[in-house]
Amino acid sequence: MPDMDTALKEAMQIDGAIGVAVVDYTSGMALGTLGSSKELDLTVAAAGNTDVVRAKMRTLDLLKLKDEIEDILITLGTQYHLIRPLRSRGGQGLFIYLALLKSRANLAMARHQIKRIEEDLHM
């Protein structure tokens, strides 16, 4: 049962990872980050992706879909941005945000690994 720091370190071991954060989408604040650089400001990314998560959840409500978001993928020219809401009771209102370099990442494996990290993470 890893804590947040351990989960962040595990996520940075995913091939192509350049940054990871655990984010509170009610406030937009990053509760923990690892791997930020001048090309990727994780605090800004966390706040911006909060809007993405809120919009998708609002859309699910409007459509009256009785389903959950497994993950959200944003594909850029050189990067993948993967967003995975936490499902544990203690993780309600939180998501994991992972940025990957497309040239080094295996998207299917990254999704599998971040799912395992999310399942094991207890907040």
Q: What is residue 120's predicted lDDT score, i.e. its pLDDT?
A: 85
Highest mean pLDDT among 5-19, 34-48, 82-96: 5-19
Is residue 94 predicted with pLDDT exceeding 60?
yes
Q: Worst-scoring range by mean pLDDT, 34-48, 79-93, 104-118?
A: 79-93
Confidence of residue 36 (pLDDT cuts 50, 70, 90): confident
Confidence of residue 119 (pLDDT cuts 50, 70, 90): confident
Q: How many CA atoms lie within 13 A of 91 on its CB side?
A: 19
CATH number of 4-120, picked from 3.30.450.30, 3.40.640.10, 3.30.420.40, 3.30.70.20:
3.30.450.30
Closest by Cα among 72, 48, 78 to 59: 72
E-assigned strand segments in 1-123: 17-24, 29-34, 72-75, 79-85, 94-101
Q: What is residue 35's predicted lDDT score, i.e. its pLDDT?
A: 93
Which residue ranges make up each domain of the chain?
Answer: 4-120
Q: What is residue 89's predicted lDDT score, i.e. its pLDDT?
A: 57
Work out the mean pLDDT of the chain and round it to a whole number: 91
